[in-house]
Amino acid sequence: MMSNLSPLQQINSGATREMGQLLEVRGLRTEIPTRRGVVRAVDGVDLVLHEGEVVGLVGESGCGKTLTAYSILDLLPKPGVVAAGEIHFRGEDLRRKSTEERRAIRGNDIGMIFQEPLSALNPVFTVETQIGDVLRTHTNLDSTAIKERVVELLGHVGISAPERVARSYPFELSGGMRQRVLIAMAIACRPALLIADEPTTALDATIQAQIMVLLQTLVEEDGVSILLITHDLALVAELCDRVYVMYAGTVVEMAPVEDLYVRPRHPYTSALFQCIPGFQPSDRPLAAIEGSVPMLIDIPPGCRFADRCPYVADRCRTETPPLVDVGAGHRAACHFADSLDLPGPASEQLEQDHASAPVY
């Protein structure tokens, strides 16, 4: 089993890993009422995350990946609501908990980091105040202990002058530093789960790499589980154990990261791979997926990807494909998952990429 994994994967699945279920989402349906009708932004999503695992949630903008995270945290912007489904965290259904109980979980058991480190920090308070408030909310530490813990946390996320940064205002820090501060804030109370929503998208390439290394360290040393929300399949390859691919509010494919890269089973996943520079064979031009995500109001039966799928058949337009097993831990929602031989980045090529990629 281990021999099938890339070197990075082997690091990820260290022997100390416990594989208890941390988060289980079942049949999640999130709706947004609009003037033109109810938008089913998330429609029947199942998702499992084990302790110590890094799971990727991948898809293009508007596929419902961020709203899935907000649904888990009870952070949905109005007027969005979770209409159906269960969200089990450590065996307890979060939807049965009160608003106050769910607030107490946020920042304490589940931390979240965001895409825009520039605007995600409050401009008029120091780093110390902002991280300190999280600690004050969830712990009984006194003010001296909080100050010490803030500095310790900043050091932990790789900030070299933690005392100075603690006293700084966000506008005095660089983008990479701010993202580190946000990560420090998210892990302040040692959460078991960290939800990272496009944590590196707004950063430049070298800083991206540093932040990815930091997240990797948190997984290995602190045993944090991460739900990584991204549109970037290259990032997923670096960090994740398993991947969920979302399209138009539904999960279309779920697989261990290796299997997905060796042989994607859903045409959408395959199409996503072809959009990544460097992942497709170099003699082919960079692809784009034609068309756009369908409006999620009054969704007709059939596969939601049908209009954009190069392999579309009549059956796809009438019959909704269920998410079925297509291999060990690998599921796909395509009528032709077994028969199609879809292009993905070959395993040899993936390893070559790793070998030639800068060491993070």
Partner 1 sequence: MRARFLLAKLLWTVFVLFGSSLLIFGLMHLVPGDPARAMLGPLGTPDAVAALREKLGLNDSVLKQYTTWITHAVRGDLGESILLNQSVSSLLAQRLPITLALSFYALIFALFVALPASVISATRKNSLLDYGARLTALIGVAMPSFWLGLMLILLFAVKLGVLPVFGYVSLREDPVDHLRHMVLPAITLGAAYSALIYEMNRSSLIEVLQQDYIRTAHASGIPSRLVLFKYAFRNALVPTITVIGIQIGYLMSGALLVEAVFAIPGMGRLLVNGVLSRDYPVVQGAMLVTVLIFVFANLAVDMLYTVIDPRIGRKR
Among the listed ranges 38-46, 104-112, 290-298, 339-347, the one in contact with partner 1 (CB under 8 A) is 104-112
State whether the Cα torsion 313-265-309-115 is positive or negative.
positive
Q: Which of residues 188-207 bind partner 1 (CB under 8 A)?
A: 188
| Least distance (Å) between residue 84 CB and partner 1 | 23
In the complex with partner 1, the residue whose CB is nearer, 67 or 309, is 67
In the complex with partner 1, the residue whose CB is nearer, 43 or 128, is 128
| Least distance (Å) between residue 150 CB and partner 1 | 13
| Least distance (Å) between residue 103 CB and partner 1 | 5
Q: Which of 8, 48, 75, 141 binds partner 1 (CB under 8 A)?
A: 75
Please state whether 198 falls in left (phi above 0), alpha (psi between -120 and 50) or beta: left
Q: Which of 22, 25, 72, 105 binds partner 1 (CB under 8 A)?
A: 105
Residue 144, token pair as written in the block? 């001296």
In the complex with partner 1, the residue whose CB is nearer, 9 or 129, is 129
For 240, residues 6+ apart whose C-beta sits below 8 A from its C-beta are 54, 55, 56, 228, 257
| Least distance (Å) between residue 77 CB and partner 1 | 8
The answer to whether 162 touches 155, Cβ cutoff 8 Å, is: yes
| Least distance (Å) between residue 106 CB and partner 1 | 4
In the complex with partner 1, the residue whose CB is nearer, 182 or 350, is 182
In the complex with partner 1, the residue whose CB is nearer, 187 or 243, is 187
What one-letter code names the amino acid at 2?
A: M
Could you please report the per-residue DSSP string of 220-255? Answer: HHH--EEEEEES-HHHHHHH-SEEEEEETTEEEEEE
Does 65 interact with partner 1 (rule: CB under 8 A)?
Answer: no
Q: Which of 182, 207, 257, 323 binds partner 1 (CB under 8 A)?
A: 182
Please state whether 216 falls in left (phi above 0), alpha (psi between -120 and 50) or beta: alpha
| Least distance (Å) between residue 113 CB and partner 1 | 9
> Hey, is 89 helix, strand or coil?
strand
H/E segment holding residue 150 = helix 143-156
Contact pattern from residue 109 through residue 148 relative to partner 1, giving x for each residue in contact according to CB under 8 A and a dash for the rest: --xx-x-x--xxxxxxx-------xx--xx----------
| Least distance (Å) between residue 165 CB and partner 1 | 15
C-beta neighbour count of 32 within 10 angstroms? 20
Q: Which residues pair with 256 in a beta bridge?
A: 242
Q: How far is CA 110 from CA 117, 141, 151, 225, 310, in A?
A: 19, 19, 21, 10, 40
> Hey, is 345 helix, strand or coil?
coil
| Least distance (Å) between residue 301 CB and partner 1 | 36
| Least distance (Å) between residue 359 CB and partner 1 | 32
Site of tokens 């089913």: 40
Among the listed ranges 8-16, 26-34, 100-108, 261-269, the one in contact with partner 1 (CB under 8 A) is 100-108
For 191, residues 6+ apart whose C-beta sits below 8 A from its C-beta are 107, 108, 109, 110, 111, 224
Q: Which of 161, 171, 174, 190 binds partner 1 (CB under 8 A)?
A: 171
| Least distance (Å) between residue 25 CB and partner 1 | 18
Q: Which of 56, 59, 64, 107 binds partner 1 (CB under 8 A)?
A: 107
What one-letter code names the amino acid at 68?
A: T
Among the listed ranges 5-13, 54-62, 184-192, 314-322, the one in contact with partner 1 (CB under 8 A) is 184-192
In the complex with partner 1, the residue whose CB is nearer, 105 or 252, is 105
Distance CA(188)–CA(131), nearest Å, equals: 7
Residues making contact with partner 1 (CB under 8 A): 73, 75, 103-108, 111-112, 114, 116, 119-125, 133-134, 137-138, 169, 171, 182, 185-186, 188
